[in-house]
Amino acid sequence: MSRRPTISDVAHEAGVSKGLVSFVFNGRPGVSPATRDRILAAAAELGWRPNPNARSLTTQTAYALGLVVLRDPAILGSDPFFPAFISGVEAVLSDRGRVMLLSVVPDEERELETYRKLAAESRVDGVFLTDLRHHDPRIALLAELGIPAVTLGRPDVPSGFPVIDRDYGHGITAVVSRLRELGHTRIAHVAGDDRMLHGTRRRDQFAEAVRASGGEPIVVGADFSPDAGAQATRALLARDEAPTAIVFANDPMAIAGMAVAQQLGYRLPEQLSITGMDGSEMSQYLFPPLATVGNDPAEWGRTAAHSLLALIETGASEDVTLPAAEFIPRGSIAPPPTPDGSAVDTPQQTATPSTR
């Protein structure tokens, strides 16, 4: 209804000048305790809070952090990372007087344009860089624009920004070890998007883990989407020597892969072991429950937010390493089918008569 109170209203109410009110709210010394209390009381009574837009003008601070998500809208919904990541960021921001500005863009051109716009309009004090790509153009752009940033993962280009990272290879190695222990020799990987750093890294870590255990990695490319995951699974299972275990680069692909295998008549996990990555909430509610590698997006969010705020407020730029990713074993893995038993129990044969 009535106009929002301003600093002048508070000053008038407390019988002081605007400047003093500002001093109090910025915790600056040189205000007597008595007046301080009077000002705080006046502000509380009027329900006044400093207007960040006005503050921005003089402080050259936007009181906001940005997140620009480049996503094919089609596969956006199946990715469980962002909502949890954002809630982690928010948990930190809510007490720090900053808000989060979110943008979802369909392609790289719009993405870079969005950063330029945020910069030109002084909308944000810093940004989170997620889903790092190879030779990611955002790093140089943000450096040029002078916008502070933190990267989720270590870029493959020179970057002065703090890095938040986690040893994900640890979990991947554990997956492969466990599968080898169970007796699997033909272990395949359905990889994520090759343009993304964590797509190829997970692929490399998988390959390395398999080789380290004396095996020969089988890898087929995909892009983190359930659709690609399903196609890759179909291709793998159509091979002469089909793998007995498939390690998917994320949970949505693994879920789609499980469905493809089941449709082909595979009994899971007896005839095919499957694992996912990223430890989505859904994974434990599948049948069989999906073994996966934990990731904790909310922890990424909290940590990234702390780092970014530290960088902005104090200039402190320190890399943070999150705890190594842990393998979460569940019912979707088992020993491979025995070679002799496979004759009577070939999945494709039992599958053929099925109705769909």
Between 246 and 285, how does the x/- string for binding to a second copy read (CB under 8 A)?
------x--xx-xxx-xx----------------xxx--x
Choose from DNA, a second copy, none: what does 18 bind? Cβ within 5-8 Å by kind.
Answer: DNA
Q: How many CA atoms lie within 13 A of 47 on its CB side?
A: 3
Integer-rounded Cα Rg, in Å, for the chain is 26
Q: According to CB under 8 A, which one of 41, 57, 157, 238 is a site residue for a second copy?
A: 57
Which CB, 9 or 165, lies closer to DNA?
9
CA nearest neighbour of 257 among 281, 217, 222, 284: 222
Which CB, 178 or 234, lies closer to a second copy?
234
Choose from a second copy, DNA, none: what does 16 bind? Cβ within 5-8 Å by kind.
Answer: DNA
Between 213 and 232, how does the x/- string for binding to a second copy read (CB under 8 A)?
-------------xx-xx--
Q: According to CB under 8 A, which one of 288, 306, 310, 346 is a site residue for a second copy?
A: 288
CB 14 to DNA: min, Å: 9
| Ramachandran region, residue 279 (left: φ > 0; alpha: ψ -120 to 50; beta: rest) | left
Angle between helices 108-120 and 137-145 (to 10 degrees): 10
Separation of alpha carbons 166 and 278, rounded Å: 12
Report CA-CA distances (Å) from 69 to 5, 81, 128, 313: 36, 11, 10, 24
CB 41 to a second copy: min, Å: 17
Choose from DNA, a second copy, none: what does 142 bind? Cβ within 5-8 Å by kind.
Answer: none
Which CB, 26 or 352, lies closer to DNA?
26
Interface positions, 171-210, toward a second copy (CB under 8 A): none
356 contacts a second copy (rule: CB under 8 A): yes
CA nearest neighbour of 86 among 230, 309, 301, 317: 301
Q: According to CB under 8 A, which one of 34, 109, 120, 158 is a site residue for a second copy?
A: 120
The conformation of residue 269, written as its DSSP 8-state character, comes to T
Angle between helices 7-14 and 33-46 (to 10 degrees): 130
Q: Which long-range contacts (CB under 8 A, 24 or more apart) does 113-122 make?
A: 114/68, 115/68, 115/141, 115/142, 115/145, 115/147, 116/141, 116/145, 118/66, 118/68, 118/147, 119/145, 119/146, 119/147, 122/56, 122/60, 122/62
Total number of residues binding a second copy (CB under 8 A)? 75
Site for DNA, rule CB under 7 A: 3-8, 15-23, 25-26, 30-32, 34-35, 48, 50-51, 54-55, 57-59
Choose from DNA, a second copy, none: what does 310 bind? Cβ within 5-8 Å by kind.
Answer: none
43 contacts a second copy (rule: CB under 8 A): no
Which CB, 17 or 349, lies closer to DNA?
17
Q: Sort 347 into a burial class: Cβ within 10 Å, 0-12 / 13-18 / 19+.
A: buried
Choose from DNA, a second copy, none: what does 90 bind? Cβ within 5-8 Å by kind.
Answer: a second copy
Q: According to CB under 8 A, which one of 23, 81, 248, 300 is a site residue for a second copy?
A: 81
Choose from DNA, a second copy, none: what does 259 bind? Cβ within 5-8 Å by kind.
Answer: a second copy
